[in-house]
Amino acid sequence: MVVQSQPALEHYSLIKTCRPSSVFTGIPVIDFKDPEAKSLIVKACEEYGFFKLVNHGIPMEFMTRLETEALNFFNIPQSEKDKAGPPDPFGYGSKRIGPNGDVGWIEYLLLNTNPQVTSLKTQAIFQENPEIFRSAVNNYIEAVKGMAFEVLELMAEGLNIEPRNALSKLIKDEKSDSCFRLNHYPACPEQLQALSGRNLIGFGEHTDPQIISVLRSNNTSGLQICLRDGTWVSVPPDQSSFFINVGDALQVLTNGRFRSVRHRVLADSLKSRVSMIFFGGPPLSEKIAPLPSLLKAKGEESLYKEFTWWEYKTSAYKSRLADHRLGLFEKTAANIN
C-alpha cells in the first residue's frame, strides 16, 4: 500500500470525516400508483420527513441523459469549470458550500429554474456548454417538477387540506423560487480511508430550506439521514427511484406535523457519486405560515412566527449548513401571543 505523505493529507484537513454508519432498510417506499399513496406519504413525512418514490413514470433515459451530460461537464478542465464560478449562489462551486465557511468533498453546479430570475452565471454555463446540456437539464427539470406537484397534491389530500393545490400552487407559481443542483462527489482518497477508517464528508449535515426536494443519484451510496432519535443511517442508493425530502418551509406549512429531514452525504472510497436535486421553493414574497385549514381542523395555534420566503432565505444564507435555521422563527414560551 502506498502511504500518502503528511502534507498531502493536510490538503483534506479542512473537510471533516465521519465513520460510515449502518445501512437502513426501513426507508418508506411509496408506489406512486398505489391508491393508499396519500396516507402512506403523510405517515412517511411525519415519521422521517423522507421517502423513496417508485413507479413514478419518469423514463430512466431522462435521468441517465442528464447524468452523462453532468459528468461531461465535471470532466472538462478545472480552469474551464472555474469560469462558471464562484457560485453567487448560482454557478459552479468546488469544495466551498454556501458563503459561510462550509466545505465538503464535492463539486457542483447550482442553477436557478425560474426564467424570471436572471442569473448571469446560469446563463453563462449554458452558453459555454453544448446545447444538449441545456436541453437535458430543462427536460429533466420539467419532468421532476410535474412529479413534485403531484406529490404535494397527494400530501394535501392525505392531510385533508382544501383545496387540493394548497401546497402545489406554491411551486407551480410562475414566480416560484425553485432551484436545481448537480453534485459530483469524487471517490475519496483510498489512503485516507485506509488510514483513518473514515470517509470524507461530501455535503455536511443540514435540512433543506425549501418546501420539497426531489433527489436522484447514481448507484453510489453516501446519503445518510438522521432519524428522530438522532441516529444517522445510510440510505441504500437506487438509481431508478427518487428520494423526496421534506424541507423547512413544509414543516412550517404543516405546523410541525411533517419534519424537515436532516441529511448529509459521505464520499465513497471507490466510486464517485452524482446526484441531481430539484428544490421546490415558493415565490419570494410568499408568507410562510401553517395552512389555516390545518390549524382549524386540529384546533392548534401556530408554532412559528410568520415570515416571508425572502426573509427565510436571507436568514438561511447567513447561517452555516448544520444550523437549526427554523429556530429563529419558532414561537418560544416567552413570545407566544
**CB closer to ligand GA4 out of 166 and 316:** 316
Helix, strand, coil share of the chain (percent; to 5): 35, 25, 40
Is the Cβ–Cβ distance between 291 and 253 less than 8 Å? yes
Among the listed residues 20, 89, 186, 256, the single contact to ligand GA4 using CB under 6 A? 89
Pick the catalytic residue from 181, 273, 320, 325: 273
Segment interacting with ligand GA4, rule: CB under 6 A, options 92-100, 115-123, 149-157, 266-274? 92-100
Grid cell locating 135: 436541453
Bridge partner list, 31: 54
Q: Residue 275: name the closest of 213, 316, 215, 193 by CA.
A: 215
Which range in 35-43, 98-106, 236-244, 326-334 contacts ligand GA4 by CB under 6 A? Answer: 98-106
Bridge partners of 73, per DSSP, are none
Task: For residue 327, give the C-alpha cell.
Answer: 429556530
C-beta of 212 vs 316, nearer to ligand GA4 = 316
What whole-number distance in Å separates Cα of residue 283 and Cα of residue 170?
Answer: 7
Query: What whole-number distance in Å separates Cα of residue 256 and Cα of residue 248?
Result: 9
Task: Choose between 159 and 200: whose C-beta lies nearer to ligand GA4.
Answer: 200
Residues 289-328 that bind ligand GA4 (CB under 6 A): 316-317, 319-321
Nearer to ligand GA4, 250 or 294 (CB): 250
The residue to which cell 433515459 is assigned = 61
Sequence-separated (6 or more) residues with CB below 8 Å from residue 312: 209, 248, 249, 288, 325, 329
Please report how close the Cβ of residue 178 comes to ligand GA4 at its closest, in angstroms: 10
Identity of the residue, 55 or 100, whose beta carbon is nearer to ligand GA4 in the bound complex: 100
Q: Is the dihedral of CA 120, 123, 129, 134 positive or negative?
A: positive
Tell me the site size for ligand GA4, rule CB under 6 A. Answer: 17
Active site residue 273: yes
Based on the shown chain and the rule CB under 6 A, indicate whether residue 257 belongs to the binding site for ligand GA4.
no
Considering only residues 106 to 145 of the shown chain, the ones binding ligand GA4 according to CB under 6 A are 110
Catalytic residues: 273
Enumerate binding residues for ligand GA4 (CB under 6 A): 89, 97-98, 100, 102, 110, 179, 181, 206, 208-209, 279, 316-317, 319-321
